[in-house]
Amino acid sequence: MTMLQKIGAQVQNDGKCIFTVWAPEIESIALQITGLEEQTIPMQKMEFGYWSATLENIPLDTRYFLNLNNDMLRPDPVSVSQPDGVHEASALVDHNAFSWTDASWPGIPLEKLIVYELHTGTFTSERNFEGIISKLDYLLELGINAIEIMPVAQFPGARNWGYDGVFPFAVQNSYGGPDGLKKLVNACHEKGIAVVLDVVYNHLGPEGNYLREFGPYFTDKYKTPWGSALNFDDAYADGVRNFFIQNALMWFRDYHIDALRLDAVHAIMDFSANHFLKELADETAKLSQELGREFLLIAESDLNDVRLINPKEKGGYGLQAQWNDDFHHALHTLLTGENAGYYVDFGKLKDLEKAFKHTFVFNGNYAPHRHKSYGNNADENPAKQFVVCIQNHDQVGNRMLGDRLSETLSIPALKLAAAAYILSPYIPMLFMGEEYGEKNPFQYFISHSDKELVEAVRNGRKEEFKSFKWAGEVPDPQSETTFKNSMLSWQYEQSEANELHKFYRRVIELRKTHPVFSQPDKNNLKTEADEATNILKIERWNNEITTLAYYHFGKKPTEIKLENAENYSMLISNFGAEEAKNSNLKTTEKLKLPPQSFIIFESHQSN
């Protein structure tokens, strides 16, 4: 078990500030206070590689560096504010000074979440947290009750997806810094919206990453797609584990974040007896009990492994939920016909049927693209433990041109996609702009100052797309034009966009209020896939109501035969279906379905 130690600059109520940093192999460290009255204060060595210094009556506008071995000035690796960027001085922040008004906020249960993923810099023209606040009423009207914010940890420059963050404790200065994020969370809670924050515990970005100079934060035992792995199980690993556990606890405690989305946990390399994720879950549970509010941990994983979300009693790590990419891939390939890259493993209607009923398409079976069998069985895990989508930052932004489904799919097909995943048994997540068919792409962008690094990123992007047969040129990630092209247009009042927007509101309302669809249950669920007609039939029920959904992915019209038609009434569809809206349905059992359409019926048990 890691010995937990508070780190960073801890501002106390009595005017003191305790500075603590982990640097087990450094010979000496001193605080270098900058400004008009520069001071150098030696830090005292403590146990387990920690150094500490306490200052009295320190002004809150203080900026400081850490002086390593009397010859190297570096920002504090636990800095909570980098107002002038990743290479400049760290700034103090008194977390107790913010006036929160969310003391009565109860949180939202996992099974009730309707999540909306967004990128702070491209969501609005303001490009900051204030811009998000200005759109909260819009999100409420749409039916959203949780936003998931892409990473905000300080990164180099002013534009970045956020996965190049190098100060995990500092909130990006160009977004509004620590107070800006607190204002956003407070405003969300006042309106009944939960906040999920995307955090990266598997790597740090290259520019401004000074952690190696403080200690063995990385290990060469393992490699990740982004270079050396963080040191979670090698010599000195306790200090690294403490660093990231304290980071997670900070977001919950000091920023009132409701849930953390843990990026690419398959790249957290830890073969110790007590996996880092399990310890993180344990410490999060302790804080939840202490503060009387449940905090959630949601993993992004490429492993299809339920050990992440199984309770400790079953040998699991105890995280609350994980993303399910299989559902996305199965639905995406049916809609688009794409079969390159990892999409080669999908494309059959039975794949989506399996995702509905058994969660993972690959649960121990062979995957041709991977050239191996992978995954395990998720049948015993409740549906609320899985987040599904049809678009997200990865599945859009990691396409060569960052093109959205609205570029190639018709409005009926977009409605079909929305109904399939929002009314699935799993937790739905929208990607910003999806709800009105945003046409602007979401492309990969950076603003590094290192020219060699910029060129390496450019080349890396080109290499990444070799397994896909996409036409065109890779947008320059360093160009500001790429960033501006990725901003939402907010053109949702035009005819087709408005039609889609209204449809999303209706589907989300059904998800939240309908007795069957509001319960994320995959047990009371029956599936039937007809490959000949490309129709997936999904039946769900509770003690009072049965719903019957026909999802038609074919490109030609077809016909369905509804047994006991007189017992059913139409609930929603993406086409007229006038004969299903009136009493004619009671005298006919056949109904024509247009290409890429769906229709859902309901039947009350008392009928």
Interatomic CA distance for residues 78 and 80, integer angstroms: 6
Interatomic CA distance for residues 52 and 17, integer angstroms: 10
Cβ partners under 8 Å of residue 498, min gap 6: 436, 492
163 is written with which tokens? 């996965």
In the annotation, is 300 catalytic?
yes
Instruction: Give the CB-side neighbour count of residue 595, counting CA atoms within 13 A.
Output: 8
Three-state SS for 328? helix
Question: DSSP string covering 524-579, please?
Answer: SEEEEEETTTTEEEEEEE-SSEEEEEEEE--SS-EEEE-TTGGG-EEEEESS--HH
Total Cβ atoms within 10 A of residue 293: 14
Q: Are strands 72-74 and 227-230 parallel, antiparallel or unpaired?
A: unpaired
Q: How far apart are the first and last CA of the chain?
A: 59
| Active-site hit among 76, 148, 238, 263 | 263
DSSP assignment letter at 148: E
In the annotation, is 305 catalytic?
no
Asked if 312 and 318 touch (Cβ cutoff 8 Å), the reply is yes
Asked if 173 and 154 touch (Cβ cutoff 8 Å), the reply is yes
| Active-site hit among 294, 300, 325, 353 | 300
Question: From residue 471, how far is each of 401, 465, 466 by CA, in Å?
Answer: 9, 10, 11
Three-state SS for 593? strand
Three-state SS for 54? strand
Interatomic CA distance for residues 275 and 283, integer angstroms: 13
Interatomic CA distance for residues 127 and 125, integer angstroms: 5
Interatomic CA distance for residues 412 and 130, integer angstroms: 34
Residues annotated as catalytic are 263, 300
